[in-house]
Amino acid sequence: GQQVMQIPQYQHVQEGEDFTTYCNSSTTLSNIQWYKQRPGGHPVFLIQLVKSGEVKKQKRLTFQFGEAKKNSSLHITATQTTDVGTYFCAVNTGGFKTIFGAGTRLFVKA
């Protein structure tokens, strides 16, 4: 079945450093979503990307969808302690199913 590979698995950064997580698929995607889960919490929807080459920004977060629609990235500029958590990408497999990546856990040291 369809899989999405997410890297890295963990990332430790100093507060103020940048952070990027990547999501890769072997097949062309119709869309991709990004979620954030705080420690002990539940996933919260951040954004959906649909178009080839799409770039969307939310304050310090920048989301990109690759030209071939097979990969995506989430970049955080100047991380803060409030950015701590796990970031997941998720893709719809056609129909009504969603596949989640394994997530990238972000640790931020103050």
List contacts with another protein (CB under 8 A). 1, 6, 9, 31, 33, 41-45, 48, 88, 90, 92, 95-103
How far does Cα 25 stand from its chain's mean position? Answer: 13
CB of 60 to another protein, least distance (A): 21
For another protein, give the closer residue by CB, 13 or 99.
99
CB of 41 to another protein, least distance (A): 8
CB of 104 to another protein, least distance (A): 10
Output the CA–CA distances (angstroms, integers) from residue 10 to 26, 30, 44, 86, in the order listed.
22, 27, 19, 9
CB of 84 to another protein, least distance (A): 17
For another protein, give the closer residue by CB, 32 or 108.
32
For another protein, give the closer residue by CB, 17 or 102.
102
DSSP, collapsed to helix, strand or coil, labels residue 48 as: strand
Tokens of 92: 């719809």
